[in-house]
DNA sequence: AAAAATATGTAGACCGATCTATTAAGGAGC
DNA sequence: GCTCCTTAATAGATCGGTCTACATATTTTT
């Protein structure tokens, strides 16, 4: 025990690679967690910094240490991270889905579970911010567009691989359908819209 | 000229029936116009009362005279009014549309024009508020759900009249599709998503 | 290896601006 | 004179953001 360790060894004790594992990255992560949760639930304005620091348990000063760009910088990173998480979850599902229809119904089921389990708080993590910022020149607007683009692209690739005609049109249509169903489900606090769309989507994708 | 008029006559000069035409209803209407415009553009929190009174040209105090319930009461009425306006526009279109597919493409075109002409500000007038309020116990949440229900019901009736099977599922699916397309169009500041969905919807409704 | 120096991060008081809402007083038209 | 409506000053809370002091690691110096 108590073997002498080089700086590199100590460094790797707490991380797999660069950037992670330092003391403050825990704080940073918690701030992002809280931000992600709050903006998904209530949008950009619904996620006040006071709520973020209360939910994360981190002090105000740490926020501006880790995100010198302030709220917008933190929200931007939270949005990108949320986009990656959803993208990954869908990607995992895509691996086991035999066809596009099964993938989409699987995604709808997954999102429905997530939505219901969260008390109708967690729908699409970027939708609210995207709408709030659509008419502004805030850089967050572009961040949201990029997240949607990443989803659209992944979906299009899968549809093309499955041999669907017009994969571009179809991918955007399916994405719109899922986003719209999530919106209605949140508005009604019910997964009915998701279920209804799921029942129809199979016929649609068989076209 | 200058004929002496009874109060009732004067009253009816500017209105068809009760509630309209009085002096202050002009103010009330302008406040609602401004509120409707601002919440559609930036959501509940994006429509600050300072902006509403600036856009309407009306003083702060008048707002609380006409809407003793404050911002929430005014926003609720603006949402309902917006819901009625869209519902009526769609109803007008429905009168001349030969079938459901034509109606939906017509609606998508109408909404696309409106969205583009407004500089990507005017999409769905209730969507942003619906998402912002979905996780709260604010009464506005229910107002949004009612507006969606009214649209869903009207659409379902039309689809049923046209002889489509599963008009309930189909109506919600079409509504989700339109809402999702509007969301993506606003996020991308482009009517592409609306056009793509329009190309696909015809085949779908021919099922 | 001890001590000094430097980086890294924490902590919360504080600021001006803005938010919604209230209030008291005055004008306009019957 | 009476009701309907307007007007602006103001209150109290909350917003995002800044600041300084402090604590804890880590590196450098001796």
What digits encode the pLDDT tens for the residues B65-95? 999 999 999 999 999 999 999 999 999 999 9
d(CA B53, CA A14): 55
Evaluate if the CB of A195 falls below 7 Å from strand D: no
Per-residue pLDDT at A185 exceeds 50: yes
Question: Which is more confident, B88 or A20?
Answer: B88
- The answer to whether B127 touches B182, Cβ cutoff 8 Å, is yes
Confidence band, pLDDT 50/70/90 cuts, at residue A169:
very high
Calculate the average pLDDT of chain B.
89
Question: What's the rounded Cα separation, in Å, for the pair B161 and A8?
Answer: 73
- The reported pLDDT for the residue numbered B77 is 96
In this structure, are residues A135 and B120 in contact, taking their beta carbons and an 8 Å threshold?
yes
What phi and psi, each to the nearest 5 degrees, are found at residue A163?
85, 20
Residue A121, CA atoms < 13 Å, CB-side half-sphere = 15
Question: pTM of this prediction?
Answer: 0.89
Which among B68, B120, B133 is positioned nearest to A133, based on CA atoms?
B120
pLDDT at A192 over 60: yes
Geometric angle at alpha carbon B149, from B117 and A131, rounded to 5°: 40
The position carrying tokens 């348990």 is A57
pLDDT band, very low/low/confident/very high, at A18 (cuts 50, 70, 90): very low
Contact B45 A41 (CB under 8 A): no
Position A15 scores a pLDDT of: 35
Q: Give the mean pLDDT of chain A.
A: 89
Contact A203 B207 (CB under 8 A): yes
Specify the nucleotide whose C1' lies closest to residue B65 (CA). D5
Say if residue A16's pLDDT is above 70: no
- pLDDT digit string (tens) for B167-191? 999 999 999 999 999 999 999 999 9
The per-residue pLDDT for range B22-67, each reduced to its tens digit, is 666 788 999 999 999 999 999 999 999 999 999 999 989 899 999 9
- Greatest alpha-carbon span in chain A: 67
Q: Give the whole-angstrom CA distance, residue A90 versus residue A154.
A: 9
Asked if pLDDT for residue B203 goes beyond 90, the answer is no
Best of B44, B47, B134, B166 to substitute, by most chain A Cβ atoms within 10 angstroms, is: B134
Lowest mean pLDDT among A3-7, A148-152, B78-82, B103-107: A3-7
Å between CA of B27 and C1' of D5: 10
Confidence of residue A13 (pLDDT cuts 50, 70, 90): very low
Residues 7-36 of B with CB under 7 A from strand C: 7, 10, 23
């Amino acid at each position: 025990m108590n073997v002498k360790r080089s700086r590199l060894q100590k460094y790797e004790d707490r991380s797999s690679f660069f950037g992670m594992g330092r003391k403050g990255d825990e704080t940073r992560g918690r701030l992002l967690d809280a931000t992600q949760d709050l903006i998904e639930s209530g949008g950009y304005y619904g996620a006040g910094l006071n709520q973020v620091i209360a939910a994360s348990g981190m002090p105000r000063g740490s926020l501006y240490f880790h995100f010198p760009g302030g709220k917008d910088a933190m929200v931007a990173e939270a949005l990108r991270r949320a986009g990656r998480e959803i993208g990954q979850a869908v990607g995992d599902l895509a691996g086991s889905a035999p066809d596009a229809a099964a993938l989409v119904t699987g995604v709808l089921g997954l999102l429905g579970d997530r939505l219901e389990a969260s008390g109708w708080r967690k729908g699409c993590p970027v939708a609210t911010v995207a709408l709030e910022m659509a008419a502004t020149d805030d850089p967050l607007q572009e961040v949201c567009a990029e997240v949607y683009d990443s989803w659209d692209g992944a979906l299009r690739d899968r549809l093309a691989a499955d041999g669907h005609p017009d994969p571009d049109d179809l991918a955007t249509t399916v994405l719109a359908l899922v986003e719209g169903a999530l919106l209605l489900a949140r508005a009604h606090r019910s997964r009915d819209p998701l279920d209804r769309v799921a029942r129809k989507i199979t016929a649609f994708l068989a076209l």
